[in-house]
Amino acid sequence: MIHATIANTMHPLVVTTGGTEVYVDLIQSPAARHIGQQPHILNLATRLLQTAKLKGEDVALEYDFGRPIGNTDVVETTAKDVIVYAKQLKQDTFTRFVKRRSFTSSSFLTLNLLRDKEGNYELYDVRIGKTSPPVPGGTNETVDSKDFWLTHAVVLEGQPLQTSTLTKDVPY
């Protein structure tokens, strides 16, 4: 049973076979946006987490289902692509976007979890596609962030943006 100490906006997902409780914020988290776009990923994530052995403060899991499970919005770009930058809604950092491209099919599901004070985990983000580093400029930027995001971008179509931040200039 999921503890009552989890905040009201948190939705209990699963207790792993090791007894670890996992929950998700279906309102405020990055996972909420991806689940809203492709709701079936919540069921896929729950199935994976049931048998997961979670260790550490910040856990990233990538699983290949061996068959297409949906579409990813992160694509590799070329010099021919039209690139723009903008801040997504409720984000403080710029994301690289590509215009006039389509989502691509993927067999991968990526989960990011954060351990709380009680030793349980929040499913912070879940998305279809392979693991990608955080966008440059954020507090969680990695050494791989800039190199990856120079050759990849998020498909612009349908993304919730802070339109006043839209630019063609590289902000990082």
Kindly report, residue by residue over 37-90, the tens digit of the pLDDT. 899 999 999 999 998 989 999 999 999 999 999 999 999 999 999 999 999 988
Which residue's entry shows tokens 């914020």? Answer: 25
Q: Where are the domains of the chain?
A: 10-165
Strand partners of residue 88: 161
Return the pLDDT at 4. 44
Mean pLDDT of 143-168: 95
Contact at 8 Å (CB) between 71 and 92?
Answer: no
Mean pLDDT of 102-115: 96
Contact at 8 Å (CB) between 112 and 60?
Answer: yes
Return the pLDDT at 24. 97
Return the pLDDT at 1. 44
**Burial of 58: CB neighbours in 10 Å, binned 0-12, 13-18, 19+:** exposed
Total-model pTM: 0.85
The continuous run of DSSP H or E covering 48 comes out as helix 40-50
Mean pLDDT, the chain, as a whole number? 92
